[in-house]
Amino acid sequence: MEFIGVTQNVVINQHGERLDTLSQNWNKFFIQCNLIPALLPNNIDLIKNYLKNLKISGFLLTGGNDLSKYGGTAPERDDVERYLISYSIKNNIPLFGVCRGMQIIQDYFGVKLIIVQGHIANKQRIAINRKQSTVNSYHCLGSLNTTDDLTVWARSEDNVIKAIEHTKYKIKAIMWHPERMEPFRKDNVNLFKSFFLESQKHEAPKAIILAAGRGSRMKRLTAKKPKCLVMLKGKPLIEWQLNALRKGGIQDIALVSGYQAKKLQPFNLKTFNNPRWKKTNMVSSLMCADKWLSRYTCIISYSDIVYSEQAVKSLLKSKGNVSISYDKNWFNLWKKRFNNPLDDAETFKIKNGVLLEIGNKTDKFENIEGQYMGLLKITPSGWKKIKKYLASLDPNTNDKLDMTSLLQRLIKTGLQIFATPINGNWYEVDSEQDLKLYNSFENLGIT
């Protein structure tokens, strides 16, 4: 079940107790919008706990208290809502503000509020996207100007800003109270539905590059930098991956870092850190990206492989909640890498596009119908099943688990894993010899 996190007003009762409250009008409005509210306390520590344990699909910053810097008496609420704005940006979660909620968004992005006259009224004429409309208004603070971050889509007749939207992030806000306009107006209900529900339906897939390990087999080449910064044909491996992912249609890309993490900061990517990278394997690194995996369909990429945009596009189109890419013509590359290709190859069996076996040692070519590339797709539903399985294992087993072992274990649980063949070249960089070989090629066949 997914929830919309809703902030609350702070009220001080006759006994001096500070109460978190929310108008019951909001409950009726949420029902009309098909939204399930999770009421958020005005306590930072509890908020952090909520966000760890609840799948929050969006945030609503409601009306009420003035901001403390403008004479308000609820600094704890200011702290919570500022934290939620930062959290929504970092995790790409929709955030909507109403009245005071819009004011704290404006203040967060550097808009100065001023006292405005005549803005407490049951009815007030405004222009919404240049079309005349009538709303309610219950505020004494407002603004006439905005910043480059926030565009204005509604103003009052005296030019006070009544609605804003962030130019980059999924952040939107209004100064009127839709919950106080009964019967609820269809345009307000549709505004909330389109903002919260449609964003859930059409969230773009993301990519996660697993780059926490050192890659010790690269020896001196990774003595002072992560493996993904090793150069191939004049550019680091990670640039090959980023180029393929972006051309393949993915713009939001994150790293799971660990070894020499600071060396990856210049790429300005969303980063999940595996602080235990020395003691854990790849599955533990994957678990560090739980926030994205629980919410978005994700392409997972090893950081030591090079592939084409077509591999990404094919994987995105593949069916199933867990899918992997594989090369059915693997032998052509493996015979150049190894004197005996079977020394490194593992079992890979499929039937009707479904993976039956992976990752076991074999001395027979007939047991190898392809080579797993280190590129896979996981939907939130698939990740939920994977998490449930991982939770059944002891911590030591989780720490040591590599990806192919996990895939084989998941097959035994009955989880269907789909296999998508690639057409074209790809490369695994596992040693200095691999680099020497690939650099000797006139062309890698990947742009």
DSSP 224-246: SS-GGGSEETTEEHHHHHHHHHH
pLDDT digits 0-9 by tens, 347-393: 999 999 999 999 999 999 999 999 999 999 999 889 999 999 999 99
pLDDT at 446: 87
pLDDT at 199: 59
Is residue 168 within 8 Å of 149, Cβ to Cβ?
Answer: yes
CA–CA separation, 231 vs 343, rounded Å? 26
Helix (H, G, I), strand (E, B) or coil at 206: strand
> What's the distance, Cα to Cα, between the start and end of the chain in Å?
42
| Residue 332 phi, psi dihedral angles, 5° rounding | -60, -35
Pairing of strands 322-327, 418-421: parallel
Amino acid symbol at 42: N
> What pLDDT, on a 0 to 100 scale, did the predictor assign at position 202?
54
Walk me through the domains of the chain, giving residue ranges and CATH numbers: 3-201 (3.40.50.880), 206-440 (3.90.550.10)
pLDDT of 2: 60
Q: Tell me, rounded to whole angstroms, the distance of Cα 228 from its chain centroid.
A: 21
List the structure tokens of 273. Answer: 């850190």
CA distances from 249 to 191, 246, 315, 445 (A): 28, 5, 11, 20
Listed as own residue / partner, the contacts of 424-428 with beta carbons closer than 8 Å and 24 or more positions apart are: 424/308, 424/310, 424/311, 425/308, 426/305, 426/306, 426/307, 426/308, 426/311, 426/327, 426/373, 427/232, 427/305, 427/306, 427/307, 427/333, 428/304, 428/305, 428/373, 428/374
pLDDT at 129: 86
Nearest by Cα to 137 from 120, 150, 160: 120
Smallest Cα–Cα separation from 312: which of 325, 330, 297, 303? Answer: 325
- Dist CA 181 CA 409 (whole Å): 55
pLDDT at residue 3, as a whole number: 84
Of 284, 292, 386, 369, nearest to 330 (Cα)?
369
Q: What is the pTM of this model?
A: 0.60
Torsion of CA 438, 443, 444, 447, to 10 degrees: 140
pLDDT by 10s per residue, the chain, length 447: 468 999 999 999 999 999 999 999 999 999 999 999 999 999 999 999 988 888 788 999 999 999 999 999 999 999 999 999 999 988 878 999 999 999 999 999 999 999 999 999 999 999 998 889 999 999 999 999 999 999 999 999 999 999 999 988 899 999 999 999 999 999 999 999 989 886 555 568 999 999 999 888 888 899 999 999 999 999 999 999 999 999 999 989 999 999 999 999 999 999 999 999 999 999 999 999 999 998 889 999 999 999 999 999 999 988 789 999 999 999 999 999 999 999 888 999 999 999 999 999 999 999 999 999 999 999 988 999 999 999 999 999 999 999 999 999 999 999 999 999 998 899 999 999 999 999 999 999 887
Pairing of strands 253-257, 270-273: parallel
